[in-house]
Amino acid sequence: MGNTSEITNFTDNLKRYSLMAGGVALVATIFGAFTDPGQFYKSYLTAILYWIGLPLGSLGIMSLHHLVGGGWGFSIQRILEAASRTLPIFLLLFIPIFFGMKELYIWADPEIMAADAILKHKEPYLNVTGYWLRVVIFFGLWSIFIFTINNWSKKQDETGDPAISDNLRKLAGPSLLLYFLTVTFASFDWGMSLDPHWFSTIYGFVFAMGQAVTTMAFAAIILNQIVSLEPLAGFVKKQHFHDIGNLLLAFISLWAYVNLSQFLIIWSGNLPEEIPWYIHRMNHGWGQLGLFVVIFHFVAPFALLLLRRNKRSSVILAKIAMLVMVVRFLDMFWLIAPNFFPNGLHVHWLDFTAPIAIGGIWLTLFSDQLQRRALLPIKDPRLQSAREVHHHD
């Protein structure tokens, strides 16, 4: 499926800048790991939970695309596939977390567990062995579905077998269900258990919607950069960007809805075991950061994405998406960091270098994967019907 020189130029440039920025940040982050290991683990966890949202969110949205169809999905299918195939690197990137378990999770300290009746009750689930066993299970399940979808898509490129489209549709339902279940439990382990006395059944859905927002925003940015390249140039119309903008708006609205639902339930319950989580995040600087996230993660994007012309312009949509991606990281920081610094907003230089380092590594791998396949699944029989729907644009 020969790649054009144009996509190679784009991916080479993206790779070059990612390596430059990521390499410098990685050196600084490694330096920070030796000079301030406690802060390193905290900053590193926030960074890795942000970036892993892209391959996982891609799994979810790929599954949604194959389940419901539509031209919007074909326009970003190869972006999602390339992003999803980067998942294995995160299993390696998780290794430093193993050495910082006691720095991050109080339940990883046997002495603290023994002295706390509530934590002792949760010990059958909250233990280091169980944590890492679940990491392996999660990555194993995600990898099975990601590489099955990718391999079937590649095989269809090679053979043109129309039955593969039906197989992808049949797999999409179980894949989407698996995504929500595993991301829910992974978010409990990686994020919610940082404060093991607190719990919320909505927390996992907050993580999943955040990943969907991050992924749709990233896909809009990349599509804007490559939309003039063949075969995308002959397929993607303004309506496709309009649809992507509508989906981004929908995911942002769902993110706001589940966050508001969680807040209202805990506020109305006013239970002493639940409210400290929000008290820490609404005072001493964290509250101002939270307000900033509400405005620029929901209010501003919501207002901008209501305008039809903004969604039909790839450039404007990409700029809105860039804002969303930046604020997505601030939201992750607001979720994670107050567990370690409940008495006031705390920002360290590692909070900047760690996400840039991991992001540089990830974008380098993504660039390599994106250039490996044609930008459209030309032999998918559903593509022609999707093309006809928007032929008038």
pLDDT per position as a tens digit, 261-303 = 999 999 999 888 899 999 999 988 999 999 999 999 999 999 9
Q: Which residue has the tokens 């901008």?
A: 304
Segment (H or E) for 296 = none
Nearest in space to 248 (alpha carbons), one of 348, 318, 179: 318
Task: Supply the pLDDT for residue 2.
Answer: 44
Q: What b/e readout covers 245-258, taking b as 16+ CB neighbours within 10 angstroms?
A: bebbbebbbbbbeb
pLDDT per position as a tens digit, 350-386 = 999 999 999 999 999 999 999 999 999 988 888 877 7
pTM for the complete prediction?
A: 0.95
Q: Average per-residue pLDDT in the chain?
A: 94
Name, in order, each residue with C-beta under 8 angstroms of 360's C-beta and a sequence gap of 6 or more: 18, 19, 20, 21, 22, 23, 25, 26
- Report the distance separating Cα 321 and Cα 203, nearest Å: 24
The SS3 assignment for 116 reads coil
Question: Max Cα separation, the chain?
Answer: 69
